[in-house]
Structure 1
Amino acid sequence: MYTGLRIVYANPAAAAIVGARSPEQLIGRAVLDFVPPEHRAPEAPGIPSQLKPNAGEPAIEHWLRLDGYRVTVQTKSFPILYAGEPSVLMICKDMTAEIGYEQSLRRNEQLLLNVVQYSPEAIVLHADDIVYYANDATVRMFRAFSASELIGRNIYDFIHKDFHEAGKRRLSEAKERAGTRLGFTVHKFTRLDGETFDAEVSSVVIENADDRFAGRYIQTVLRDVTERIAREKELLDHSQRFERLLKFLPEPIVITDHGAIIYCNKSTAKLVRASSKDEIIGKSIFDFIHSDHHQDSVRVVRDVMRTYDATPFQERKIICCDGSVISVEISSIRIDHYNGKSVTLSVMRDLTERKEAEELLIRSEKLSVIGQLAAGVAHEIRNPLTSLRGFTQLLRRELDPARFYYIETMLSELDRMTYIVNDFMSLSKPQLVAYRNHELADTLRAVLLVIESEALLHNIAVHWDHRGGLPPVRCDEHRMKQVFLNVLKNAIDAMPDGGAIHLKMEAVGDELLVRIRDEGPGMPKELIERIGDPFFTTKSDGTGLGLMICHRIVEAHNGSIRFSSAPGAGTTVDILLPIATET
């Protein structure tokens, strides 16, 4: 309260507004001390406008505090008499914080409006299918001059007619899931100039306090993806052309993304013995690469992505879908922009035929060396052996019968040496071969009669799964008897404590299969791979020539002989011979 522009009364709340320590600090001070200088120009002599009585009408004024800061105050002024003199009673309320909050709220609202207005993404606010707001990006997207060309129009004026039903379902879903933004989906729209374009759209329902309509606002965000879809289509067309090219290449091709197989052609499926490409795609490349080569392959995959140069062909072992292991050569190169990615393309070459040819060449060279050796040995040894046997038989007539044991031992060993020389002779010169159509079952039956007594002596049973009506084989019967006899004698030798030999004969395609399986101790893989090598044997008294001769005989008949075994599982010998085509 003041009289003559001097404060005569102030309560503690008034003192707090202007920063006084107590009301007494204000008594006697001029009220003009609290009025900012720019507001002191009097409308009436000596009385600023904010100090004039306003009959209780609230007014917002700016005051100066004692510390120099300004505060916003709401005042109500009443004229009164105090101590017999005209005075003014002023009721004050500090509005600084409240006004500051309102101003901050208005600034934030304007900032938010600017963010939406100038957002690079098109934003539309609509209700009951009518557009109420469109930002600048929306105006540009639909090629309008201003938002007024869009506001007030039905949203289906801009959605392509083919997408009206999809749009309705989409908005219905947005209303059901109020407050949850739907994921982006692609619709087709129409610009004001009639051009159509593709856009991703996402909508969310926004609650509002506007009672002008019963519906709720829906905010929809649009992204023009016309160029992106065109690029994706171009990339897809490019990838499809690329895949068609790879599909019919004779070389196996594999494309991997960080080790995962994302494409392979038919040649790859054939190489790894898969029923289809689906059996391969999606798996890791390391599911097929043998564990012996994993570390090297990881290094190659890493290095190939650092350059555009193809790696040199490197030999690898791969595991086929049926569990078999084959050798291949692999070269890899980095390919960019395959379905938008940088991937690794690998070309493979099957080394199976090359390996077989190399093994055949090595075997031929070995046989050639053995043949040359055999020719010399047979020539130098066979005649002396004949003489030794003849004179030994003569000595037998003159010696005391009590010493016949020694003569028999000498003759037995001489016969053994003759047998070895004969094996050499079979390698050293071409054999006279008479090929005729034979029932191979008869040939095998004749051999079984020869070894029957020896098998019984060793407590070995022979089981023959014989099926009648098998086709004939064009072969040299005597040579095939030699093969069967050799294999069966090996089977008997493998079971000194008895057991069984299982025989099976059946037609397999255009070949006849003879399978001979024993119940012996079996052999590890490293020994199986050496069977047929010259002078390799597992028997203490063997020469290592018998199975080599068997190999040579079967190959001369355009057939094949295969061995399979494992420790503790016996040994199986498969002899395959082509079925006779001539009668």
Structure 2
Amino acid sequence: MDLPFLINVSWIAPWGFLIDAALRFIIAIGTLIVYLDKTRYDLLAKEQYYRLLAENASDVIYRFKFVPKMHFEYISPSVKKLTGHSPHSFYNSIRLIFSLTTPNDRPILRMFARKFFYEPDHTLILRIRRSDTSMIWVEQTSVPIVNEEGSCIGFEGIVRDITTRKNLEQDISRLDSLNTVGQMAASVAHEIRNPMTTIRGYLQFFANKREFSTYTNQFGLMIDELDRTNLIIKEYLTLSKHRTIDLKLNNLNVIIESLYPLVKADSNADNKDIHMHLSDISLIYLDEKEIRQLILNIVRNGLEATSSDGIVIIRTFQQSDEIVLSIQDNGSGIPQHILDNLGKPFVTTKETGTGLGLATCYRIASRHQAVIKVESTPSGTTFNICFKIP
């Protein structure tokens, strides 16, 4: 730029080169500063973006270090929703995760901790107790963190709530068990009932003989046992039938009211009581015969679970897009090992029960696209059958 004006001034040439060099240096420094500032801005933007993803993900993302001591370097806020405990609780105590793990699954967690160095790419499935004492299933996948020397100094992982998936697996297992029982029933039930009919007939014949009059009670007992066996086989056949249900718009309250005299008489015979609290509800598609069977099975189970002067409460109410039939008893509750397998054939708390009544109820609910939810405490059990409103 100064060349046209200073071309004839000989002594200015060296200074011109210096000025030129200084300007180039200043421009280079300015360009570098702008580049570095833009790079820093981009890194901050990406860090904010990734932090936003981590902190708003439904899965828990964490980073655990072994050095200089074992500690959580980072754990996403979603752990609060998953476990009920804040990230700071895990920062303050790494033992918290062991205390949350159910006692039956703690050996699995210890084995994972020992084998991690040899099998880092390992999926871990555990049951944990949330702060509100409810139990959930979680699945963890993790990858090791390796330093420059190739040593493992920690791991990063993702923890996901898989309770819904586990419940679905249990439902599939329950349906598979029902189908197996149905196939067994269809193949052998008739073959068993035919000789039983013959035996029952001869027992009645001999019971009427004068020379066997002293054994009348024994014959009656044998006939009663045969009738009970026949009832079990009948329940088998109920499970085996792939019947087409006759769905019609019905009022659930009307069905319950028609059953009330029957269950009321049943309860009075054992010095127990039944209360009804029916709310105004919408019409839903039901097969009346099957719903009657479902209600009778669960109500009678409730009556048998209560002691003398026990009470069973039948409620109906509407919430959002569902009609809920609630049957509550004040018995001693259902043990956890039974509750986990409720609805499977042969699972029962009764000494003389077959374990097929509730299996039939779950099958009926499945055919009506309904869901059975069970809440049990030492002070009673509640069955909530949730029907979708069309």
Check 1:265–1:381 CA distance in 2 against 1; reply closer, same or farther (3 A cut).
Answer: same
Give the match for residue 22 of structure 2: none
Give the match for residue 229 of structure 2: 417
Instruction: Report how far residue 436 of structure 1 moved.
Output: 1.0
State the AA in 2 paired with 1:562. Answer: K
Any residues of structure 2 matched to 1:222-241 within 5 Å, and which?
A: 236-237=44-45, 239-241=47-49
TM-score scaled to structure 2, two decimals?
Answer: 0.71
**Within 2, Cα distance between the matches of 1:240 and 1:319?**
32
**Within 1, Cα distance between the matches of 2:133 and 2:51?**
28
Check 1:303–1:244 CA distance in 2 against 1; reply closer, same or farther (3 A cut).
Answer: farther
Give the match for residue 359 of structure 1: 170
TM-score scaled to structure 1, two decimals?
Answer: 0.50
Please tell me whether residue 345 in structure 1 is matched to residue 156 in structure 2: yes
The structure where strand makes up a greater share of residues is 1
Identity in percent: 27
Structure 2: runs of 5 or more not aligned? 1-25, 27-36, 148-152
- Measured against aligned partners, the alpha-carbon deviations of 1:42-89 in whole angstroms (never above 9, x if no partner) come to xxxxxxxxxxxxxxxxxxxxxxxxxxxxxxxxxxxxxxxxxxxxxxxx
Give the match for residue 91 of structure 1: none
**Within 1, Cα distance between the matches of 2:167 and 2:102?**
23
The structure where helix makes up a greater share of residues is 2
What SS class does the counterpart of residue 522 from structure 1 fall into? coil
Give the match for residue 243 of structure 1: 51
Any residues of structure 2 matched to 1:157-196 within 5 Å, and which?
A: none
- Measured against aligned partners, the alpha-carbon deviations of 1:224-255 in whole angstroms (never above 9, x if no partner) come to xxxxx999988755532431343566654235
- Measured against aligned partners, the alpha-carbon deviations of 1:407-437 in whole angstroms (never above 9, x if no partner) come to 7655544433332221111122212411111
**Within 1, Cα distance between the matches of 2:286 and 2:210?**
48
Q: Is the 8 A contact 1:328 1:350 kept in 2?
A: yes
**Within 1, Cα distance between the matches of 2:209 and 2:88?**
86
**Within 2, Cα distance between the matches of 1:414 and 1:434?**
33
State the AA in 1 paired with 2:138. Answer: V
Check 1:488–1:231 CA distance in 2 against 1; reply closer, same or farther (3 A cut).
Answer: same
Give the match for residue 272 of structure 2: 460
Please tell me whether residue 543 in structure 1 is matched to residue 351 in structure 2: no
Check 1:425–1:450 CA distance in 2 against 1; reply closer, same or farther (3 A cut).
Answer: same
Please tell me whether residue 280 in structure 1 is matched to residue 76 in structure 2: no
Please tell me whether residue 375 in structure 1 is matched to residue 186 in structure 2: yes
Instruction: Report how far residue 500 of structure 1 moved.
Output: 1.1
Give the match for residue 21 of structure 2: none
- Measured against aligned partners, the alpha-carbon deviations of 1:340-394 in whole angstroms (never above 9, x if no partner) come to xx98532123322332232233223322321122112222123344455566667
**Within 2, Cα distance between the matches of 1:322 and 1:335?**
33
- Measured against aligned partners, the alpha-carbon deviations of 1:123-165 in whole angstroms (never above 9, x if no partner) come to xxxxxxxxxxxxxxxxxxxxxxxxxxxxxxxxxxxxxxxxxxx
Of structures 1 and 2, the one with the larger relative CO (CA 8 A, separation 6+) is 2
**Within 2, Cα distance between the matches of 1:559 and 1:360?**
13
Instruction: Report how far residue 286 of structure 1 moved.
Output: 5.3
State the AA in 2 paired with 1:353. Answer: T
**Within 2, Cα distance between the matches of 1:453 and 1:501?**
13
State the AA in 2 paired with 1:318. Answer: I
Give the match for residue 128 of structure 2: 318
Give the match for residue 507 of structure 1: 318
Check 1:336–1:506 CA distance in 2 against 1; reply closer, same or farther (3 A cut).
Answer: farther
Instruction: Report how far residue 484 of structure 1 moved.
Output: 0.8
**Within 2, Cα distance between the matches of 1:317 and 1:353?**
13
Give the match for residue 19 of structure 2: none
State the AA in 2 paired with 1:430. Answer: H
What SS class does the counterpart of residue 89 from structure 2 fall into? coil
**Within 2, Cα distance between the matches of 1:233 and 1:263?**
25
Please tell me whether residue 571 in structure 1 is matched to residue 381 in structure 2: yes
Any residues of structure 2 matched to 1:6-405 within 5 Å, and which?
A: 236-237=44-45, 239-247=47-55, 251-255=59-63, 259-260=71-72, 262-264=74-76, 272=82, 280-284=86-90, 287=96, 289-290=100-101, 292=103, 311-320=121-130, 322-333=132-143, 345-387=156-198
Give the match for residue 474 of structure 1: 285
What SS class does the counterpart of residue 331 from structure 1 fall into? strand
State the AA in 1 paired with 2:54. Answer: L
RMSD of aligned Cα (Å)? 3.9
What SS class does the counterpart of residue 285 from structure 2 fall into? strand
State the AA in 1 paired with 2:87. Answer: I
- Measured against aligned partners, the alpha-carbon deviations of 1:163-209 in whole angstroms (never above 9, x if no partner) come to xxxxxxxxxxxxxxxxxxxxxxxxxxxxxx9xxxxxxxxxxxxxxxx
Instruction: Report how far residue 509 of structure 1 moved.
Output: 2.4
Check 1:426–1:302 CA distance in 2 against 1; reply closer, same or farther (3 A cut).
Answer: closer
State the AA in 2 paired with 1:370. Answer: V
Greater Rg over alpha carbons, structure: 1
Instruction: Report how far residue 530 of structure 1 moved.
Output: 2.7
**Within 2, Cα distance between the matches of 1:541 and 1:319?**
34
Instruction: Report how far residue 440 of structure 1 moved.
Output: 1.0
Check 1:537–1:241 CA distance in 2 against 1; reply closer, same or farther (3 A cut).
Answer: closer
What SS class does the counterpart of residue 313 from structure 2 fall into? strand
Aligned length: 338
Check 1:376–1:254 CA distance in 2 against 1; reply closer, same or farther (3 A cut).
Answer: same
What SS class does the counterpart of residue 267 from structure 2 fall into? helix
